[in-house]
A = this chain, B = another copy of it.
Amino acid sequence: MTIKYPNRKNNILKNNEFISKSGNTYSNRGMSLEEDLNATNTYYLANNIANIHKKPTPVQIVKVDYPKRSAAVIREAYFKQASTTDYNGIYKGKYIDFEAKETNNKTSFPLQNFHLHQIQHMENVMIHGGISFVIIKFSLYNEIYFMKASDILTFWQRQQQGGRKSISIEECRQFGTLLKTSYPIIVPYLNCIDELY
């Protein structure tokens, strides 16, 4: 399955991040959540705290050129929809699995940011005894929340039953845990695991 990105026509790719022509990243504030999480995971790995990685972006490769004396070049490929969440790994012997999303919305996090099979994957990880959660960033406020997958499932089910199609920022504050950014551990999400599980 390929994905259309109709709103990204005016943007270019740089270091695997989408950058708008004005030069701003989508987060509009400094580093993206993905970059902050990658830096956090690098720190966790280097300091023997955890081994957690972002999975590569899934791509369907169609055509590859093999120029003489240089690297193979992919000349035609398409973005595929991920069948799982983006991050997984191990912490204190436990399987860790999560998705990270940021929104420019002011008052809520739209549930359409998730695909059905991502929700199913989170539920499945819980069934198998893993730790599954979501990191949500409200970019305008620079507020980052840790929310357990069990809560995400509750909000998803509410939507399935005709309820609101988003999680309000108040609900994030009530059911999630605010992650205070710091240095060198930029997004210290493992603290929440120590507290919540």
A: residues with CB less than 8 A from B are 2-6, 8-9, 12-13, 16, 45, 48, 50-51, 53, 55-64, 66, 70-80, 82-84, 88-95, 97, 121, 124-125, 127-130
- The 21 sampled A-B contact pairs (Cβ below 8 Å) are A3-B71, A5-B66, A9-B66, A13-B64, A16-B61, A45-B124, A51-B124, A55-B56, A56-B58, A57-B61, A71-B79, A73-B78, A74-B76, A74-B77, A75-B76, A77-B77, A90-B95, A92-B128, A92-B129, A93-B129, A93-B130
8 Å CB contact of A93 from B58, B66, B95:
B95
Who on chain B is nearest to A45 by CB? B124
In the complex, which residues of chain B have a beta carbon less than 8 angstroms from the beta carbon of A55?
Answer: 55-56
Q: Given A3-B71, A74-B78, A76-B73, decide whether A84 and B53 contact each other with a Cβ distance below 8 A.
A: yes
Q: How far is the CB of A40 from chain B (nearest CB, A)?
A: 16
Q: How far is the CB of A193 from chain B (nearest CB, A)?
A: 13
